[in-house]
A and B are shown apart, each in its own frame.
Chain A
Amino acid sequence: MKPSKASQRYRSIRRNANLYQESLFLSNLDDSFNADEAGDSHDPEQIFQNIQFQKDLMANIRCRPWPMGQKLRALRRAKEIVLKFEGRLTRTRGYQAAGAELWRKFARLACNFVVIFIPWEMRIKKIESHFGSGVASYFIFLRWLFGINIMLTVMTSAFIVIPELIAGQPFGSTASKTVPKEHIASAQDLDTVWSLGGYLQYSVLFYGYYGRERRIGRAGYRLPLAYFLVGMAVFAYSFIILLRKMAKNSRTSLASASHENYTFCWRVFCAWDYLIGNPEAAESKTAAIVNSIREAILEEQEKKKSKNLAVTICLRIIANILVLLSLAGSIYLIYFVVDRSQKLEQSKKELTLWEKNEVSVVVSLVTMLAPSAFDLIAALEMYHPRTSLRFQLARVLVLYLGNLYSLIIALLDKVNSMSILEAATKNNTNNRPDSTTFFATRTTSVEEQWSSLQPGMGLRKNSTWALEEASTPTLPMPFTPTNRTSLHHQWPQDQCWETYVGQELLKLSIIDMLFTVASILLIDFFRGLFVRYLSDYWCWDLESTFPEYGEFKIAENVLHLVYNQGMIWMGAFFSPCLPAFNVLKLIGLMYLRSWAVLTCNVPHQQVFRASRSNNFYLSMLLFMLFLCMLPTIFAIVRYKPSLNCGPFSGQEKIYDIVSETIANDFPVWFNRVVGYISSPVVILPALLLLLYLYGPSESMGDIPKSRSCPPVTLKKHLEDVHSESLFQKAFQKGNPPLPRPGASVLAAHGRRPQAPRYDLIREQKAHKNFWPERRFKINASGDIVELYPRNTRPCVPSGPRQALSPQLSDEEEILGRDWTRQAFHPRSLTDLHWAPHFYVGDRTVGQSLAPEDLRRKHCKSWNDGFEDQLAHPVYVPKKPRSRYVQYPQPPLKPRAKPQFEPPLTESDSMSVASSSDQEHSSTDQYLQVVHSHAKNPRPVGQRGRRKAKSGQELTTDLNDLICSNV
């Protein structure tokens, strides 16, 4: 396989390079040629072409590898020619050009200026030069998270905290804003403050403090509404920013999809950073280069190692069992601790400091210790270091998630039991003989709005929380007012479960921070000191044997950040200041970590690049965001907000604030429209549509600013296509061909979906880039049918696939083919969506309804997208098989082959690989379709997707045609 792959690559290189050479050569020739010709040509066509050429030249003069003198000469000449033949530019054009130039310069200046304000750049660079890109990527990630948290902080403080502080009712004015009398004595005790009780509990830190007035201040700021919207906006913003970042990253990282192929080359030729101008930096850069080359060598040797299979498998099984056990153990432990603390709180009046904090301490301990345990276990498995890093990451992520989830579930459980207690109290007070003493307070309390809602609430709470079968029947339907007042007296603060959850999460965050600091000091700093200074007096060599110096563990640290951020997301709704706290925490972490890394850690002996792919971190973060959003959303949707605290008190559900606002403050028609829109029938597709549209538009927006000229873009595009096909090939090879559609669906779905999707996006944008030129061709020649297939063949990108087929036996080939299609499938799916769209949008501008319509349509199909994905593989494999039944294989293959050999020396379209026997008809078919597309693009595109026999490959081909034509 290898030689054929190499030679194929070589050929593609050859072609690309030739192209470039040609362009260089041609331009060189043209330069002199045009100079001679400039004066004496009189044919208008020629003059026009000449002008066009000179303009191109002026635009792309930068791309020519000429010495400066030649460039200047050429430029001057070109300008002369253009001036002479075209006449002077009009004045407005001149201003426009000047303005554009000015703007460009300004943008560049601004860009340079902004760079100064990127925080910690030097620090990170220093770390990078000492520890390589892996460790630095942790800090870059940290900085990025810091940016996100700043935004979240700005959002919460600007729209919630500051308005409340300025315009809300002052501290002490209402029950929810005062420290209750029985607690006031201990409100300033250290352990109260430590467990965020006392004054802190009744401050803007937590949900409970915010007032329930619909409008506050003179301006009538709607605080509750703002609270809700900001709470949702936090999630929305995080999602958007994450997806954007991921799209951006995937664009850059895809260029290195064939990463493995050029490890050494890149490490040699791209290693030196020409920006370095500082001897110290150069020193460390050299060290880094040596390091990376050694690493590459090591990796190379690692590949050759052979191992004892049986033992390793056994070890791995044991290791996995151990990991599972410890996961289960940690989850159980957390649940147990929460349960215990809950019981303690009920039984004891005074809790010790430990008892108050044991939940967060235990959680932090588990999160700190378990990864090290996993690390030890991973040593059993003897994986390649990169693989083991991945495993480690996955396990730690599961652990963190388990922790957070068991914590939040336990907390919500506690919220439930609070309500049980509450119900129990009601019963008790109901039966109390002295209830009449409270009766006097009744009149006053009834005036308060909240209490008028109470009886119903009690019932509803019981019914929704569905836990207390015992208490529900005993509840008397008509509450006496006594209950209410007594309730009010007895459970004023404990009732605020939102504050409680917020407190718990903030506490967890604080304790987590302390543990991080402690672990940095203990594990890194003191160990470093110990090893450094006691080494001489110790009986063994401390530096190289047992304790050693600490290494910076990228994986755990990144995950810790992810976990930390998850905590913030989980708690941000209940404690609006949590992001602000996190900002401080991240700043501290940045300085402490970078200091610790630079002073006490040693560079990894084997720096593996697994952590280079930042999208891995991001996808973990995305995962975390999603999972952390769930409990919060669940709590918002499911539970009734506390009665006497918080902005939503007295409402049935938290989100009622929106409908209430819409009902009261918007015109009636709007209300009705919202009613229609908010039905799930509309919302769900709309959401998916947004998600779907977002990706492509996001990544397409970037292209125009690529500072390149036509030949360069062309090459770039070809490169992309090639690398993609290589990538796909790797994918094919890695997985055994699966005949069963179900399995293939899994394969296509399970881990990959992101990669192929972004693939296409890249490709699409390339298409878009090339569109004008293609259109030009159509216009100029008019005869597409003739033009396309001929031009296409040598350039269609899916080359390697062909090489695959001859070596397979018939049976295998069928499978291989199926697989090819399936592997290809996602690409073609989106291509399908886009191909018609482009046609309409760009070519036939006159059709007004088309783009919008189409867009909706293909989004719809994305919607059932998975159905599509499911449907395709099922339907695709059938075709080739049925074909094979009809056409016996062996005689056909040789016939098809030679026929296509001459034009496609090295490629070609999937049709060759996928249905060699059908070549004739296939060619005809797509000629036809190209034709009809040109005439009446839309319907054919639509129908073609569903019906046309090889619609899938047709459109793919079409796309290939488009790109190859340039």
Chain B
Amino acid sequence: MGSKQTVFTHEQLEAYQDNPFRQRIAQVFSEDGDGHMTLDNFLDMFSVMSEMAPRDLKAYYAFKIYDFNNDDYICAWDLEQTVSRLTRGELSAEEVSLVCEKVLDEADGDHDGRLSLEDFQNMILRAPDFLSTFHIRI
């Protein structure tokens, strides 16, 4: 190891965890839903996030990740969460609400004001770069 630092401070660890959805990912894949993962859960996570995983599976878990309140629908509140995490709060409130509105407008097939898994899958599976970005390489 030489001069390399082997123990990380808390701040450094924080800085290295850049994925805005890291908590959600941990929650979704953990059995108890609070982010504590067993080995199996961990394997699950990497099996889903691997390059080899099929689209549908990825889409299914992506939906779960973006569904912040676990009600099996992505509602406006979930969307706001997503957007604000993505942009680290750089967008103004109006912009965020506009974006949420547009998203719902585009993808909400049954006009119930929220995205179901079906809506989400239909939308995400057509995205050109979903597959290429939704994976983790270790």
Seen from chain A, the residues whose Cβ lies within 8 Å of a Cβ on chain B are 6-7, 9-14, 16-18, 20-21, 62-65, 67-69, 252-253, 255-256, 258, 261-266, 268-279, 281-282, 286, 289-290, 293-294, 296-297, 300, 707-709, 711-712, 715-716, 719, 723
Contact = CB atoms under 8 A, between A and B. Distances in A.
B107 interface: yes
A20 B119 CA distance: 12
A62 B40 contact: no
A269 B118 contact: no
A6, A282, A293, A715 pick with most chain B CB within 10 angstroms: A293
Nearest to B137: A275
A103 B125 CA distance: 30
Nearest to A12: B122
Secondary structure at the A interface, as helix, strand, loop or mixed, is: helix
A283 to B, nearest CB: 8
A58 B60 CA distance: 20
A9 B107 CA distance: 10
18 contacts: A6-B111, A9-B109, A13-B109, A14-B110, A21-B118, A68-B41, A253-B128, A262-B106, A263-B102, A264-B103, A265-B107, A269-B62, A269-B120, A271-B86, A275-B135, A276-B19, A282-B19, A716-B125
A12 B123 CA distance: 12
B79 interface: yes
B52 A707 contact: yes
A274 B135 contact: yes
Given A16-B118, A268-B83, A277 B126 contact: no
Interface string B38-64: 001101100101001111110011100
A282 B18 contact: yes
A11 B111 CA distance: 12
Contacts of B18: 276-279, 281-282
Contact of B53 (A11, A62, A262, A268): A62
B106 to A, nearest CB: 5
Contacts of B33: none
Contacts of A62: 47, 52-54, 57
A286 B88 CA distance: 7
Nearest to A258: B126
Contacts of B91: 290, 293-294
A719 B121 CA distance: 11
Nearest to A708: B54
A210 B33 CA distance: 76
Given A273-B133, A279-B15, A262 B126 contact: yes
Given A256-B127, A279-B18, A297-B95, A264 B106 contact: yes
B136 A20 contact: no
Nearest to B88: A286
B22 to A, nearest CB: 10
Nearest to B15: A279
A256 B126 contact: yes
B134 interface: yes
A294 B95 contact: yes
Contacts of B60: 65
B87 A13 contact: no
A719 B125 contact: yes
B126 A712 contact: no
Contacts of A716: 55, 125
A424 to B, nearest CB: 64
B117 interface: yes
A270 B129 contact: yes
B83 to A, nearest CB: 6
B93 interface: no
Given A9-B122, A266-B129, 9 more contacts: A13-B119, A67-B40, A67-B41, A268-B86, A270-B130, A275-B137, A286-B86, A293-B91, A716-B125
Nearest to B109: A10
B75 interface: no
B126 A723 contact: yes
A62 B117 CA distance: 20
Contacts of B109: 6-7, 9-11, 13-14
B47 A68 contact: yes
B109 to A, nearest CB: 3
B57 A262 contact: no
Contacts of B124: 265, 269-270
A263 B110 CA distance: 19
Contacts of A261: 106
Interface in B59-83: 60-62, 66, 79, 82-83
B103 A265 contact: yes
A466 to B, nearest CB: 54
A536 to B, nearest CB: 28
